[in-house]
Amino acid sequence: MRSLLPPGVTVVETYEDVLDPSPFPEEEEAVARAVEKRRREYATVRHCARRALAELGFAPVAILNGARREPLWPEGVLGSITHCDGYRAAALAREGTVASLGIDAEPHEVLSPGVLALVMRPEEHGHLARWAEERPGIAWDRVVFSAKESVYKAWFPLTRRWLDFEDATLHIDPWDGTFTAALHRPGPVVGGVRVSVMNGRWLVRDGLILTSVVVPAPCTTPDSEPAS
Ligand SMILES: CC(C)(COP(=O)(O)OP(=O)(O)OC[C@H]1O[C@@H](n2cnc3c(N)ncnc32)[C@H](O)[C@@H]1OP(=O)(O)O)[C@@H](O)C(=O)NCCC(=O)NCCS
């Protein structure tokens, strides 16, 4: 995941569960009734997140979830969390480094027909066929799914609103590991400019699909100040 994010974003990832030697009681309580698998991924990814916080110079804190399941970061920090079978990652940055970010990991497997129908806009079916012809051997439907989840994780902290899978059209470059998501809902305003497209990166390696989306921080050079 580190290679999918810009400098200034700290990524800590693991392929194995490393239970936090000092779990926070609030976190233990949050997953007390969850199955063992969920408790392990929850604790492990928070262990990753606290290592990332330490790298950024922040003290360890409990990382709970908000009303829409979003991770709640200490003041001055933003970030994103993902976990799937065999992989957990947290990507964090100091506020101001980027405006928002989202990360997602999925197994490199095709989607079931039911999920495929929920995730794709009509025009994206054509894109899938084109990418599969151009670069076979990649589960492009799952890459789109993961990319859209990264879009949502970057979108939500800026808008506090839901975004459906049909609310974005993905354009993936099958060779250079990048994608764009054209938003079909009014996007957040960042630095006085409405975000209508989000940019991301993707990678398929070791049976995993990894994606990231970064909304850049507003440019603060004098030249970029809006005219008064
Ligand atoms: C929230 C969602 C994206 C999580 O993705 P997932 O593949 O199920 O699970 P992941 O392991 O990758 O990510 C889970 C983490 O997402 C984070 N998350 C959950 N809700 C979130 C939100 N509203 N905003 C930001 N991050 C959120 C949490 O940190 C969670 O981990 P935690 O419960 O341990 O804290 C997904 O469940 C969902 O609701 N998707 C529908 C919305 C969507 O993707 N729209 C597409 C728009 S183009």
Predicted confidence (pLDDT) per residue in 216-226, tens digit = 999 755 554 44
Ligand 1 contact via 71 beta carbon (within 6 Å): yes
Task: For residue 9, list its beta bridge partners.
Answer: 93
Written as one letter, the residue type at 192 is G
Label each residue of 163-201 as H, E or C. Answer: CCHHHEEEEEECCCCEEEEEECCCCCEECCEECCEEEEE
Q: Model-level pTM?
A: 0.95
Q: What is the spatial distance between Cα 201 and Cα 176, in angstroms, rounded to a whole number?
A: 9
Domain spans, the chain: 2-97, 104-217
Residue 212: its pLDDT value, please? 98
The burial class, CB within 10 Å (0-12 / 13-18 / 19+), for 78 is buried
Nearest to 19 by CA among 51, 53, 42, 49: 42
228 within 8 A of 209, measured Cβ to Cβ: no
Distance 9 CA to ligand 1 centre (A): 19
Ligand 1, from 37, 39, 69, 170: best to mutate by most atoms within 8 Å of Cβ?
69
For tokens 């949502």, the residue is 152
Which residue did the predictor score with more confidence, 23 or 9?
9
Predicted confidence (pLDDT) per residue in 53-81, tens digit = 999 999 999 999 999 999 999 999 999 99
Residue 226: its pLDDT value, please? 47
- pLDDT level of residue 18 (50, 70, 90 thresholds): confident
For tokens 């960042």, the residue is 190
Protein fold of 2-97? Ribosomal Protein L22; Chain A (3.90.470)
Architecture of the domain whose range is 104-217 = Alpha-Beta Complex (3.90)
Task: For residue 213, list its beta bridge partners.
Answer: 102, 200
Distance 224 CA to ligand 1 centre (A): 33
Strands (E), 28-97: 77-84, 87-94
Mean predicted confidence (pLDDT) in 159-166: 98
Distance 103 CA to ligand 1 centre (A): 9
